[in-house]
Amino acid sequence: MTTGTEGQRYAVVTGAAGCIGSAVVHEFLRRGLVVHGLDRTPATTGDRYFAHQVDLSDRADTDRALEKLLAALPGRCDVLVNNAGVSRLRSFGETSDQLLDDLLEVNFIAAFRLTRALLPVLKASSHAAIINVASELALVGQPGYTAYCGTKGAVLAWSRALAVELAAEGIRVNAVCPGPIDTPMLQAEFATAAAPHLARQEEVASVPLGRLGRPEEIAAVVALLASPEAAFVTGAAWAVDGGKTSQ
């Protein structure tokens, strides 16, 4: 079991090895938190960072990881960031049941199950915060992303309902909705286009601030929502998209 002082804060971050996840981990460590990171990519445990390898699309593997995670926490979790997510570009008619199941499992069901399992240790915190990473596509539609939009919309609706239900427990719940962020996942989506360079240019042109976002900009908002400075913020959807969804 991790040992800590009364003032130490403990965070759990899923998708911790990805661009946004690793930026969140880095920001939390910079702020002095002890972080437990969950990801299917192996990682090294270091100073105040504890890596847990898990495939969140596999419920049995997730349950095994949760058992180890709960044993590693000091009976308390102060911050939970449900960041893990997957995206696939498919037309609605070409979206198979398997693809829909895959996106639902990682983007929504894993977050739901993980949060439910960690609820007792979140309740043990005097200032717990849950931040769910949704997407700009939880707010607006886009062709080729019907399944992704549906799963991220579920994350947003669930976040709002959970915020109301857990308010009496003193647990805040907010959603962050990133716009186009310069990550390998977005680059992979550009690569599927007939003209990848043009696809990137069009995406940038759709953002009023005129550029793609950076992972550390998402991490800064997540860290704010996890902090005491956001003590009166719950049930909110924070669009971090350079103004894209405001048009």
Residue-wise DSSP of 34-68: EEEEEESS----BTTEEEEE--TT-HHHHHHHHHH
* Rounded CA separation 8/77 (Å): 10
pLDDT of amino acid 59: 97
Q: Is the residue at 161 inside a domain?
A: yes
191 found inside a domain: yes
164 within 8 A of 130, measured Cβ to Cβ: no
Total domain count for the chain? Answer: 1
Distance CA 230, CA 76 (A): 20
Q: What is the largest CA-CA distance in the chain?
A: 55
Threshold 0.75, pTM exceeds: yes
Q: What is the span of the domain harbouring residue 108?
A: 10-240
* Residue 85 belongs to a domain: yes
Inter-residue long-range contacts of 61-64, CB under 8 Å, 24+ positions, other chains counted: 62/110, 62/113, 62/114
Per-residue pLDDT of the chain (247 residues; tens, 9 = 90+): 333 456 899 999 999 999 999 999 999 999 999 999 999 998 898 889 999 999 999 999 999 999 999 999 999 999 999 999 998 889 999 999 999 999 999 999 999 999 999 999 999 999 999 999 999 999 999 999 999 999 999 999 999 999 999 999 999 999 999 999 999 888 888 888 889 899 899 999 999 999 999 999 999 999 999 999 999 999 999 999 999 999 8
* pLDDT the model gives residue 4: 44
pLDDT for 78 = 98
- CATH (domain of 138): 3.40.50.720
- What stretches of the chain show up as alpha helix (H) in DSSP? 19-30, 59-72, 97-104, 110-123, 146-166, 184-191, 196-205, 215-226
Residue 150: strand, helix, or coil: helix
Is 1 a domain residue? no
**Nearest CA-CA partner of 84 in 230, 185, 223:** 185
Q: Which residues are part of the catalytic machinery?
A: 148
Cα–Cα distance for residue pair 140/165, rounded to 1 Å:
26
